Chain A
């Protein structure tokens, strides 16, 4: 399973980075979303998969999966929601103000 997951992680990273390197702000934002997914799955995969029951002690199982990455990921999901929404607003306000979302044209002024 880890093998397939690792490949998924790789694909998520690859497409995420590819999108981040594009000119359109919209693609860049989608790219960050994909990168976030990639990181989440990477964290899960690194701690090995399906090693026990869900980390709920009420289950009374002999072994549980690693709870630590889950706590990290939960935080990250909520944070990435906040970040994505900020990105969006930033992007469309920039578009409104400047009339473009092309990164090559959004370069700041020469005298800065």
Chain B
């Protein structure tokens, strides 16, 4: 566990603590207790800067799923540091801003900050992870926390729509990325990023290499809102503005850029990589900037602006990868300058766009609207906000002396430079890059001017606003002021960043270009002389101003691009289609008829077992090992088969019960024949108790009626049941006729007495070898008995149909009113009960060595009690045995569990039993086993359960 791990886990732990904390008092804003976290992280990452600059790599590793080769490994290099500083730095400012932005009395602040911390930790995890699976996991957590934050005002329809859209798109990309990672594992045998990068070039010819490339890019493009996956970002603007500033402009949307930068050492040099990224980036740039011109909502303008700026950085990363086409040092360094521009612009964008989002938040907060058609003339009221807005927008437009100017110039250098690339036969296509870049910059200039001047200058129209506007409080201004100041500082002194952040990050993206100990030369200057870039900037300013001035009159900017087709419509239609399609498909087989579901199950059983038997040639009937048959057995068999077959044909409840009971008793006889005394005893008692139960219940049920079914249905029923029957016969024959491996039964036979001190192997298995199973079984039974109790006690009496007859048998049990006058039964049972009870206790105690045990003893006892109830009525039972049988169940379970837990006292695993021989007074040498204690628990539980069931049903009128 290194400090890096701590840095990632800290926000998660804090978020977890926040959820269980007592509701924070309203006296101060929850944000204040969150703020220390990002600040602390920021300070920590700043302190790491020196060592990263010196080329050291901090790392740590914890095994997580060793069997799958997954370790929680993290490392910090230049690229990771750059992003970590962005995450923690912007994070601190955003938390500070949110304290003044979100009302502490009205908003669910705890949820907000929990989600925000989740995001912070996950994002740090993404940029610091070395293991690809870890990276993927954190990547998805960022998607989920973004979903939660967008839907923060979840009672708004649009918030939920935007949240779902962003999650569907980013998670889809995330899954593609995971597939790409898995392909890498198949190719390289490792999930470690650093190992993959160190062995870059070794798998380039693999057939899976290009699929992996495309899949990973899908992840990057969806996350970074590249065309055509950008459609989620404008809808994500439903989130509170601090979230938009943080996730949807400064950090999360840059995760895609991070991924591209991170994988550059592996993929750079691949033509597909170069083309996909550069083209997708430049298209996104121009499309986003054009769309931004058409918006009227300030946040929507910024959203499309973010899309276009992300495209800009993306295309720069693509152009930078051209460096890998050359082996010659000077050419490579020439193209690597694009990468430098990318990193620099990434920082600049986070700074000025963060400031602008906060400005828009302030305007929204103080005026109640973000619609530029309603705004205007705020300059006189909000001078500080205006100043920040000017710095932010001028920087975005690429005007000196702000940081945006520098990176925009570097961008022009890069696109001009790429026209000289001679590796492909596509000079015309490459020449388009400077043209597109220039046009997009003009658009950017235009909307930048719109943001600032349409809001702050012009005719004031305050009467249209919901609130009376005034300057924001100092707390709200603090964060954007810091960012605006940074925009100026980075503009005037860009070299503050060159060797602290930019060079180490470049070294991480282009490791192959550096000899050991070497470093890139990074120097950024405002003035380059009268270069083509400068003339381009001048042109941009002139054309941009023109667009801004003409904007209201350009009708193309006020109508949708295509009326009938748009990506958003496609998305909506796709979602609708998926929803309806799956509904239709589900409705086709989920008919609501349980019978159909049972049919599916049985048909599947027939097919799978049949296929298995056939495919593995398992059908083998080996008659000669079969046991001999006696006439007696054949007769039992015949009785069984006949009574069973007769059941579907009878139309009286009583006949059906009796036939089922007959089948049960025949099975009991089979148990006797097949040397299973315990089973025979159990089955016999259960059968008896069951018949009593059946009789109790049958009177509550309607008469059996002849089923009116269509012939077709009957044929289906017959076919399925016959199929199951045949398959089961085959399974029984094949299994008994062959022996593929040694059974574990011999172990029980050999060790039953040696290890457990019991001679009745079946009982020993139940209470000792498989005691845990038995314990859970009685728990299940206990639940069933409580279910019966609850079902009957449920108040259903209100709407009982007339058809239900009230019945004498139930009443006979319910003897509160009518005393039984069955003299013979009463007289006989007085004696019989005691005999049965004594026998039951005998069966219980003898169970360890002879047939019997807890189950059988308990069932026998219950049978005696039921007889008592039948003869003397419910009231007598309540007098004689004044216990609540549900309590008895609980006591039994408790005894069983305590016996099991007792073995902890002797440092043995749960339910270890022990036995020994003791000389007791009167009884002489006696064996005492803790298993008997456990069996006592079973005994009491089963009595409790059986009596609860029977008495509850009997009491029910």
Residues of A within 8 A of B (CB): 1-27, 30, 33-34, 37-38, 40-42, 44-58, 64-68, 70-71, 73-75, 77-79, 81-86, 88-93, 95-97, 99-101, 103-104, 106-108
Contacts and interface: CB of A to CB of B under 8 A. Distances in A.
21 contacts: A10-B726, A13-B725, A14-B726, A40-B679, A50-B628, A51-B627, A57-B760, A58-B849, A64-B761, A65-B676, A68-B743, A68-B744, A71-B765, A71-B766, A75-B777, A82-B945, A84-B693, A91-B697, A95-B701, A96-B804, A108-B592
A38 to B, nearest CB: 7
Given A70-B676, A85-B693, A24 B725 contact: no
Contacts of B677: 54, 56
B682 A74 contact: yes
B916 interface: no
Contacts of A3: 621, 623, 626, 733
A53 B602 CA distance: 37
Interface in B593-648: 593-595, 598-599, 602, 621, 623, 625-629, 633-634, 637, 640-641, 644-645, 647-648
B901 interface: no
Most-contacted residue by chain B among A10, A12, A47 (CB, 10 A) = A10
B914 interface: no
Nearest to A33: B660
A88 B737 CA distance: 38
A108 B644 CA distance: 32
Given A56-B761, A85-B693, A96-B801, A67 B625 contact: no
Given A2-B732, A9-B732, A56-B677, A68 B765 contact: yes
Contact of B721 (A18, A49, A66, A103): A18
Interface string B837-878: 000000000000111000100010000000000000000000
Contacts of B644: 11-12, 15, 34
A89 B788 contact: yes
Contact of A75 (B641, B730, B773, B949): B773
B704 A26 contact: yes
B563 interface: no
Contacts of B737: 2
B702 interface: yes
Interface of B: 592-595, 598-599, 602, 621, 623, 625-629, 633-634, 637, 640-641, 644-645, 647-648, 653, 656, 660, 663-664, 667, 670-671, 673-679, 682-683, 686, 689-690, 693-694, 697-698, 700-702, 704-705, 707, 709, 717-718, 720-722, 724-726, 728-733, 735-737, 743-745, 748-749, 752-753, 759-762, 765-766, 770, 773-774, 777, 780-781, 784-785, 787-788, 791-792, 794, 796, 799-801, 803-804, 849-851, 855, 859, 942, 945-946, 949, 953
Query: What is the interface of chain A mostly: helix, strand, loop, or mixed?
Result: helix
Contacts of B721: 13-18, 21
Contacts of B707: 22-24
Given A19-B648, A103-B593, A79 B777 contact: yes
A80 to B, nearest CB: 8
Nearest to B797: A96
B647 A15 contact: yes
B782 to A, nearest CB: 9
A29 to B, nearest CB: 9
Contact of B627 (A2, A8, A79, A107): A2
Nearest to B759: A57
A9 B855 CA distance: 25
Given A64-B749, A68-B744, A103-B593, 4 more contacts: A7-B641, A34-B644, A74-B678, A81-B946
Nearest to A84: B690
Contact of B736 (A47, A73, A75): A47
Contact of A73 (B593, B679, B801): B679
B667 A41 contact: yes
Most-contacted residue by chain A among B594, B761, B773, B799 (CB, 10 A) = B761
B949 A56 contact: no
B676 A91 contact: no
B914 to A, nearest CB: 19
A81 B690 contact: yes
Given A21-B721, A45-B732, A103-B595, A78 B777 contact: yes
B942 to A, nearest CB: 7
Contacts of A45: 732, 735-736
Most-contacted residue by chain B among A40, A91, A92 (CB, 10 A) = A92
A40 to B, nearest CB: 7
A26 B722 CA distance: 21
Contact of B949 (A15, A34, A48, A82): A82
Given A55-B762, A71-B766, A88-B693, A81 B686 contact: yes
Given A24-B707, A34-B644, A56-B850, A96 B788 contact: no
A28 to B, nearest CB: 9
Contacts of B850: 56, 58
Nearest to A104: B593
A11 B736 contact: no
A44 B674 contact: yes
A82 B785 contact: yes
Contacts of A23: 595, 707, 709
A103 B717 CA distance: 15
B724 A17 contact: yes
A21 B598 contact: yes
B812 to A, nearest CB: 17
A10 B606 CA distance: 13
B732 to A, nearest CB: 4
Contacts of B637: 4-5, 7-8
B720 A17 contact: yes
A104 to B, nearest CB: 7
A76 B946 CA distance: 15
Contact of B788 (A11, A12, A78, A86): A86
A111 to B, nearest CB: 12
A92 B788 CA distance: 11
Shortest 6 CB-CB distances between A and B: which pairs?
A: A14-B725, A10-B729, A92-B700, A99-B801, A82-B784, A18-B721
Nearest to B659: A30
Contacts of A4: 629, 633-634, 637
B675 A11 contact: no
B735 A78 contact: no
B805 to A, nearest CB: 11
Nearest to A5: B732
B667 A50 contact: no
Contacts of B702: 26, 95, 100-101
Contacts of B626: 1-3, 49
Contact of A25 (B629, B701, B781, B784): B701
A47 B693 contact: no
Nearest to B626: A2
Nearest to B718: A18
Contact of B674 (A49, A85, A101): A49
Contacts of A17: 602, 720-721, 724-725
A103 to B, nearest CB: 6
